[in-house]
Structure 1
Amino acid sequence: MHFCPAYPKPRKHKASALLMFFSARRSWLDALYERSYRMQMGEVHLPGLDLYMVNEPALVKRVMNEEAGQFPKSPLLGEALQPLLGESIFTTNGEQWQRQRDMMEPAFAQARLNVAFPLMRAATQDMMARLDALPDGGEHDVEVEMTHVTADIIFRTIFSVPMEGADARRIFEAFARFQAVAPRLLLPSVYGVRWLVWPWDAWRSRQAAREIRGLLEGLIRPRFDALRRGEATQHADILQSFMEAKDPASGNAFSFDELVDQVAMLFLAGHETSASALTWACHLLAHAPEVQERAHHEVEQVMGERAPELADMKAIALTRNVFRETLRLFPPVGFMARQAASACTLRKKPVREGATVVVAPWLIQRHRDLWAEPDAFNPDRFENDASRESLRQAYLPFGMGPRVCMGAAFALQEATLILACLLRRYRLQAVAGHEPQPVGRLTIRSANGVRLTLHRREGVAAW
């Protein structure tokens, strides 16, 4: 019997527009109803928006890949993220997006898996030292540590420096505030009633964004100015590549503000999504002790007590599949909003220009007609021939098409390493009476944290 994690119980019937508005202010997951998990396409018509939710695999492929130009990224999410990410590649479209993509892709050569692995390993080793300093068997909110280690990894990859604890806590708390406020800014835009945004919420969003960007600007400015002065550099990291990137058409480099936008996007997207998924992976493993023990023995057999190596990551298939299954059940980006660039037809229904078309990995990856045991935690499905078609047509935690996440391989390697080191050293156990409450904000997090106890395994060194 596989463990089925709790998630917001869907309503029996579709809510009214008014009830949907107030439900989604807390979490967009609260606005879903039972048929959402079975429908091929749904539609919602609100005062300020026509919204179409597409779950049918052929439609998803059309919107995300085959006709991606016809369905650019919706500006709705961009409005909520603008104070933080500015005009970054995450929110732009068209020629601006293509220019940024062309300039940034070469920089990601710095994040090659073999180059990044030693940085990931060093940050993971620091994480293990922090955990070893805690009382054995103590109760912890693993979300805090998963945010710290993933932020540390992306910091080292971008800036060549580790992220210290105080900065990690500041970022975590500031981003938590930003996440909590974002739906309150987004929902009024969806409903066409922007005047309903509370000034207090807008101020909190701007304050959190300024705090995060201020930390990043302090790291970028000295190196940006040094490069402009022609001073030699010894850095071989993503920031250096971003600063040296040139527009293929004009030959221009990123301005300082553009550089901050792109680094903010890479840092925040690069650690927030991984931290979300790793936190849920720990929750799932704590409730599936049989899977946890199998993964522990797999890691022991492959790595023993030595430091992990890059080649090990391919050999620990179950650990990797634990993370892949976590991405299916708790995709960090639970919905992807696109906008119809011109009038079109979807499933014989007319869609007006400007309408919002949503592809929701949360729904597609739990769709009752596309998956066996859709709500069950079963990492073995990735080795099961019976699941091959489901994985081919209904698994898209990193998106698909031209805007597929460039950091997918990076995230998978990072998560496999972190989970392997955790499982080798610790036994994760659920806290009685504590049930995490998934909420859909910018990513899918727990409204009440994910509390576990960590028990050191006897005779197992941290390496």
Structure 2
Amino acid sequence: MYTAEVPRGPKGHFIVGSLPEISRDVLTFFTESARKYGDIFRFSFGPFPAIMINHPDLIAEVLVTQQPNFVKSSVYRRGLRFLGNGLLNSEGQFWQRQRRLVQPAFHLERIAAYADVMVSYTNELLEQWQNGEVRDLYQDMMSLTEKIVSKTLFGFDIRNEVSGVQRALDAVMDFNNQLSNQYLLPSWVPTPSNLRYERATQQLNVIVYKIINERRESGKDIGDLLSLLLRVRDEDNGTGMTDRQVRDEVITLLSAGHETTANAMTWTWFLLSQHPQVQAKLHSELKTVLSKRTPTFADIRSLSYTEKVVMEAMRLYPPVWGISRVSLQDCVLGGYNIKAGTTVFISQWVMHRDSRFFENPNVFDPDRWANNFQKKLPTFAYFPFGGGSRICIGKSFAMMEAILLLATIARSWSLTLQPDHPVVLQPSLTLRPKYGLKMQLIKI
């Protein structure tokens, strides 16, 4: 039983809808609108009709129950066009095939073998640190996770290419930070943002195609994901993946595989610096479990509080703060008729701070995750890795990496935020600190 009425929502402006408010502060817009209008509300991006859903049951409808009717929008893919037709952008049978192909690289026995690389690269970073030094932890985490994912998944050492890859990804994120780039201006219009985006894509192409060509010429199979992508054959016609297909998957996993973890770690350091009692409890666990040695994969099960710190940091500062889908056909959501072509927004930022599911939702409290708290929550009250069939393929990889990096660093270092450093949220495709994160290193 449903009503033909559309949901309530902010009136917006003539022609541009709610774009000005969203462009000014999208997190505040979504948070305040959810508080005012409830579990579902309508708004618009100029001529594009949209709704936002703010209840686990409704999110489950979109990502699970009615999932075939909700796909990535052309606008979303425009913002991520540098990824080509990789896992994040592809749909249908092609996506299913690629997902099956890539999945073995993230099986538990495989990612367990990545642990030593994660810890080793982290120790290399720590060898550069000096007691009392002030560093941008955001840049350190970006560089570190980029090296880790390139080595573990693709078997190459990207140290000489890190700055180039990072500049290119920064250009992409800056483009997506302005919603007008996605919703109002076609990608072929030669604006400064579009031109910078295209240059960034070309820069990534040069780096990735060089890696692909070198591996094809060597003919080596070293058992990594890149080897798998190059040797796979289609079951129907026996053809392999083109260089373009390999390139799309490499750039997708390289970008997503380091960007989200780096942001999760960055916000974890920020929160720890603001909560010395949590930092002290973390150090106590690391001293008890590890003493003076570095962590291994076998230690993860014993680092329960370390894991809770990561989970709580991702609750308050989810690396992916929101996702969207577009309806292919008319449907019903929350008792309302939703027209085909409507964009549906879902925000981890909003849901993770909902007082219906989290007591004192704005407080950083890792102990809230004790006693299997997550199992008591509705599935989509806490979903930093998305959900449904398109849940992040690297979820286990990312959690293991975050725990090991946090343990390796925090066992011997305490980090203090510089008092004059501005901490400003930049909600692009991921949730970045706009001005980085300048912190002082204190050896413990």
Q: Structure 1 length normalisation: TM-score?
A: 0.88
Which shows bigger deviation, 419-428 or 429-438?
429-438
- What does residue range 281-430 of structure 1 map to in structure 2 within 5 Å? 281-384=268-371, 388-390=375-377, 392-430=379-417
Distance across 2 between alignment mates of 1:270 and 1:28:
25
**Aligned residue type for 2:125:** M
Check conservation: 1:29, 1:439, Cα contact below 8 A. Answer: no
Alpha-carbon distance, 1:93 to partner: 1.0
**Match status 1:16 vs 2:37:** no
1:386–1:321 CA distance, 2 compared to 1 (3 A) = closer
Alpha-carbon distance, 1:30 to partner: 5.1
SS in 2 for 1:311: helix
- Note the residue ranges of structure 1 that are not aligned, 5 or more in a row: 1-12, 228-232, 458-463
**Match status 1:190 vs 2:183:** yes
1:49–1:414 CA distance, 2 compared to 1 (3 A) = same
Alpha-carbon distance, 1:363 to partner: 0.9
1:128–1:391 CA distance, 2 compared to 1 (3 A) = farther
Check conservation: 2:320, 2:431, Cα contact below 8 A. Answer: yes
The equivalent of 2:117 in structure 1 is: 119
Alpha-carbon distance, 1:66 to partner: 1.7
Query: How many aligned positions are there?
Result: 433
| 1:310-342 superposed Cα distances (whole Å, 9 cap, x missing partner) | 111111111111111111111111111111111
Match of 1:130 among 115, 124, 128: 128
**Aligned residue type for 2:140:** E
The equivalent of 2:173 in structure 1 is: 179
1:15–1:217 CA distance, 2 compared to 1 (3 A) = farther
The equivalent of 1:278 in structure 2 is: 265
**Aligned residue type for 2:263:** S
Check conservation: 2:106, 2:397, Cα contact below 8 A. Answer: no
Check conservation: 1:429, 1:454, Cα contact below 8 A. Answer: yes
**Aligned residue type for 1:176:** D
- What does residue range 154-169 of structure 1 map to in structure 2 within 5 Å? 154-164=149-159, 166-169=160-163
The equivalent of 1:4 in structure 2 is: none
Check conservation: 1:88, 1:258, Cα contact below 8 A. Answer: yes
| 1:172-197 superposed Cα distances (whole Å, 9 cap, x missing partner) | 2221122112233x535435x54996
The equivalent of 1:78 in structure 2 is: 77
Distance across 2 between alignment mates of 1:24 and 1:111:
43
Which shows bigger deviation, 196-205 or 328-337?
196-205
Distance across 1 between alignment mates of 2:49 and 2:122:
45
Check conservation: 2:102, 2:225, Cα contact below 8 A. Answer: no
- Note the residue ranges of structure 2 that are not aligned, 5 or more in a row: 1-8
SS in 1 for 2:50: strand
Check conservation: 2:19, 2:44, Cα contact below 8 A. Answer: no
The equivalent of 1:32 in structure 2 is: 30
Match of 1:213 among 205, 208, 217: 205
The equivalent of 2:67 in structure 1 is: 68
**Aligned residue type for 2:393:** M
| 1:24-53 superposed Cα distances (whole Å, 9 cap, x missing partner) | 446632543523246211111344211111
Distance across 1 between alignment mates of 2:25 and 2:172:
14
1:320–1:107 CA distance, 2 compared to 1 (3 A) = closer
The equivalent of 1:10 in structure 2 is: none
Distance across 2 between alignment mates of 1:97 and 1:50:
27
Distance across 1 between alignment mates of 2:35 and 2:437:
25
Distance across 1 between alignment mates of 2:358 and 2:108:
37
Q: Structure 2 length normalisation: TM-score?
A: 0.91
1:72–1:302 CA distance, 2 compared to 1 (3 A) = same
SS in 2 for 1:98: helix
1:122–1:27 CA distance, 2 compared to 1 (3 A) = farther
Which shows bigger deviation, 343-352 or 153-162?
153-162
Which shows bigger deviation, 361-370 or 252-261?
361-370
| 1:89-125 superposed Cα distances (whole Å, 9 cap, x missing partner) | 1111112212222322234449822221122122112
SS in 2 for 1:45: strand
**Aligned residue type for 2:139:** V
Alignment root-mean-square deviation, CA: 2.3
Alpha-carbon distance, 1:389 to partner: 3.1
SS in 2 for 1:442: coil
**Aligned residue type for 2:110:** R
Check conservation: 1:48, 1:190, Cα contact below 8 A. Answer: no
Check conservation: 2:135, 2:439, Cα contact below 8 A. Answer: yes
Distance across 2 between alignment mates of 1:453 and 1:94:
48
**Aligned residue type for 1:438:** L
**Aligned residue type for 1:358:** F
Check conservation: 2:146, 2:162, Cα contact below 8 A. Answer: yes
| 1:218-252 superposed Cα distances (whole Å, 9 cap, x missing partner) | 1111112343xxxxx25121111111223344433
Check conservation: 1:321, 1:380, Cα contact below 8 A. Answer: yes
Distance across 2 between alignment mates of 1:270 and 1:424:
24
Distance across 2 between alignment mates of 1:273 and 1:403:
16
Alpha-carbon distance, 1:446 to partner: 1.1
The equivalent of 2:436 in structure 1 is: 449
Alpha-carbon distance, 1:368 to partner: 3.0
Distance across 2 between alignment mates of 1:145 and 1:290:
25
Check conservation: 2:50, 2:342, Cα contact below 8 A. Answer: yes
SS in 2 for 1:42: strand
**Aligned residue type for 1:190:** Y
Match of 1:94 among 92, 95, 105: 92
Percent identity between the aligned chains? 26
SS in 1 for 2:350: helix
Which shows bigger deviation, 61-70 or 39-48?
39-48
Match of 1:440 among 406, 427, 430: 427
Distance across 2 between alignment mates of 1:223 and 1:264:
16
Alpha-carbon distance, 1:387 to partner: 6.5
